[in-house]
């Protein structure tokens, strides 16, 4: 439970930090950065919400700088949950703790919220897909739409199967389906739209796997249902997904073709009302965003080098900020009271497979509060660096030495917090 709490806090803090940067970018004109780059930042926020980057970074740091820890692990020593050999070494670990009962209440509330969110979204998705299935009719292979689909697939380099169908329940083209992608076209022949542009738009969504990103956003929403930032991200992802798709579709078009594309968007916009955009990719969109969408689409230009440099630098900086925040959150997550004590109690009853003859098993931070009060620095083993100073760990391939082997100056440097305590000595102490 302690590890899960740390994981959840780390993910939600890291993702929210990136979303905070997205909110700050709203102060900058949308014409400064291309829509594609804004969309990349949104996708990066999604990954920070679902991918434990902090644990990967901590593992790499431990792998590169904490060789003595790895030496201990190679001996087959099982370090208990409260063993903090990777935490207190940096001196940044939070001293905060939360009661075990409170942790369980929070976990239950989180589980209920996540389950409710997930069930509701699955129900809505099932209802939407059933409606599409019940109202669809096939498109003839000899039709103009089918020919446009085959031609555009070749142009875009899409080799997978893509279905094409009509639906009487929609008034705007949509792309649905992760495993069996299908482009649904409105059955009404009164809509003035360019079929080639419509299909091109939906195929670009398919090629970029935008539906997969939307599913990841929903997963993040279930995991972090309590976090308002993740719900803002859901809307932001949809907006920049459409704007960046427009940008890619019209990139090679003439001004007249772009106007025609804009007219198509206008003609199908009303039909988008009621569409669950979190499950599909649609050509139309929110009317509030229409003016900006048309303006950006008509003014798409070839990117200049300094624009690409600024956008790439911004993404790297935001990524670095998100990663740093994730690592900080992992180190600052409150621990659950009693977890380490219970683990040690289990070992006292013979449930441990730790070797009693190991030179050291626990750092000071791995002991329970009561044990920390009773141990002395004379009981511990210590490491020495190249200058002979007493340190918590060293990269030197040397063994720890007992307190009695230190000289007078080193004994002055030694503290309980720097020591490593053998399980055998701690048990003897506990039995006194």
Q: Give CA–CA dist 284/84, Å, rounded.
A: 53
Q: pLDDT category, 365, cuts 50, 70, 90?
A: confident
Q: pLDDT category, 266, cuts 50, 70, 90?
A: confident
Q: Give CA–CA dist 145/191, Å, rounded.
A: 14
Number of neighbouring beta carbons within 10 Å of residue 289: 14
Residues 64 and 86 placed together within one structural domain of the fold: yes
Pick from 62, 46, 80, 369: which is nearest to 210 by CA?
A: 46
Q: Is residue 345 part of a domain?
A: no
Residues 102 and 117 placed together within one structural domain of the fold: no
Pick from 101, 179, 23, 51: which is nearest to 337 by CA?
A: 101
SS (H, E, C) 104-128: HHHHHHHHHHHHHHHHHHHHHHHHH
Residues 138 and 42 placed together within one structural domain of the fold: no
- Which of 37-46, 71-80, 354-363, 403-412 has the weakest average pLDDT? 71-80
Residues 132 and 225 placed together within one structural domain of the fold: yes
Give the pLDDT score at 149.
92
Residue 123 has pLDDT above 90, yes or no: yes
Q: Is residue 244 part of a domain?
A: yes
The DSSP 8-state label assigned to residue 7 in this structure reads H
Q: Is residue 342 part of a domain?
A: no
Q: Is residue 27 part of a domain?
A: yes
Pick from 373, 364, 383: which is nearest to 422 by CA?
A: 364
Give the pLDDT score at 273.
65
Residues 159 and 227 placed together within one structural domain of the fold: yes
User: How many structural domains compose the chain?
Assistant: 3
Q: The tokens 């511990």 sit on which residue?
A: 380
Bridging pattern class, strands 335-336 and 97-98: parallel
Range of the domain at 415: 355-431
Residues 141 and 282 placed together within one structural domain of the fold: yes
Residues 157 and 237 placed together within one structural domain of the fold: yes
On average, the pLDDT of the chain sits at 79
- Cβ-proximal residues to 356 (8 Å cutoff; 6+ apart), any chain: 422, 423, 424, 427
Kindly tell me the burial class for residue 233, based on how many C-beta atoms sit within 10 Å of its own C-beta (0-12, 13-18, 19 or more).
buried
Residues 142 and 268 placed together within one structural domain of the fold: yes
Q: The tokens 């993740």 sit on which residue?
A: 230
Residues 281 and 234 placed together within one structural domain of the fold: yes
**Tens-place pLDDT, residues 14-57:** 999 999 999 998 888 766 778 888 999 999 999 999 998 878 88
Q: Is residue 343 part of a domain?
A: no
Q: Is residue 344 part of a domain?
A: no
The DSSP 8-state label assigned to residue 232 in this structure reads H
Q: Is residue 23 part of a domain?
A: yes
Global pTM value: 0.68
**Tens-place pLDDT, residues 316-356:** 999 999 999 988 888 787 766 654 444 444 444 443 333 44
pLDDT mean over 399-405? 87
Residues 391 and 314 placed together within one structural domain of the fold: no
Residues 97 and 127 placed together within one structural domain of the fold: no
**Tens-place pLDDT, residues 141-193:** 888 889 999 999 999 999 889 999 998 888 888 999 888 999 998 886 556 67
Q: Is residue 389 part of a domain?
A: yes
Residues 120 and 230 placed together within one structural domain of the fold: yes
């Amino acid at each position: 439970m302690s590890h899960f709490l740390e994981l959840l806090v780390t993910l939600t803090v890291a993702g929210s930090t990136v979303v905070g940067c997205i909110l700050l970018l709203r102060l900058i004109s949308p014409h400064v950065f291309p829509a594609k780059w804004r969309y990349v930042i949104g996708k990066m926020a999604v990954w920070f919400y679902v991918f434990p980057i902090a644990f990967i970074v901590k593992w790499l740091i431990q792998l590169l700088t904490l060789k003595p820890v790895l030496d201990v692990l190679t001996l087959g020593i099982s370090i208990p949950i409260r063993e903090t050999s990777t935490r207190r070494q940096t001196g940044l670990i939070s001293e905060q703790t939360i009661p075990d009962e409170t942790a369980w209440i929070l976990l239950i509330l989180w589980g209920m919220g996540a389950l409710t969110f997930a069930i509701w979204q699955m129900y809505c998705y099932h209802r939407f897909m059933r409606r599409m299935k019940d109202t669809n009719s096939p498109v003839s292979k000899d039709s103009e739409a089918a020919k446009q689909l085959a031609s555009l697939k070749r142009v875009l380099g899409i080799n997978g199967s893509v279905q094409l169908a009509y639906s009487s329940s929609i008034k705007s083209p949509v792309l649905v389906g992760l495993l069996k992608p299908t482009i649904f076209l409105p059955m009404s022949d009164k809509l003035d739209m360019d079929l080639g542009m419509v299909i091109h738009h939906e195929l670009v969504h398919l090629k970029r796997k935008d539906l997969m990103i939307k599913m990841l956003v929903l997963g993040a929403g279930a995991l972090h249902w309590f976090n308002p930032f993740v719900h803002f991200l859901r809307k932001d992802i949809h907006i920049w997904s459409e704007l960046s798709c427009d940008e890619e579709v019209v990139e090679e078009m003439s001004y007249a073709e772009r106007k025609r594309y804009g007219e198509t968007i206008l003609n199908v916009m009303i039909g988008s009302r009621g569409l669950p955009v979190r499950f599909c990719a649609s050509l139309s969109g929110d009317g509030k965003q229409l003016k900006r969408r048309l303006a950006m689409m008509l003014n798409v230009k070839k990117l200049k080098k300094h624009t690409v440099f600024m956008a790439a630098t911004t993404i790297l900086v935001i990524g670095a900020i998100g990663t740093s925040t994730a690592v900080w959150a992992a180190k600052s997550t409150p621990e659950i009271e009693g977890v380490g004590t219970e683990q040690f109690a289990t070992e006292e009853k013979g449930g441990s497979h730790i070797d009693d003859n190991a030179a050291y098993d626990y750092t000071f931070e791995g002991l329970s509060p009561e044990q920390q009060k009773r141990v002395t620095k004379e009981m511990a083993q210590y490491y020495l660096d190249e200058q002979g100073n007493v340190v918590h760990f060293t990269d030197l391939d040397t063994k720890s030495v007992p307190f009695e082997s230190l000289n007078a100056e080193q004994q002055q440097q030694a503290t309980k917090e720097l020591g490593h305590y053998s399980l055998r000595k701690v048990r003897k102490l506990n039995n006194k």
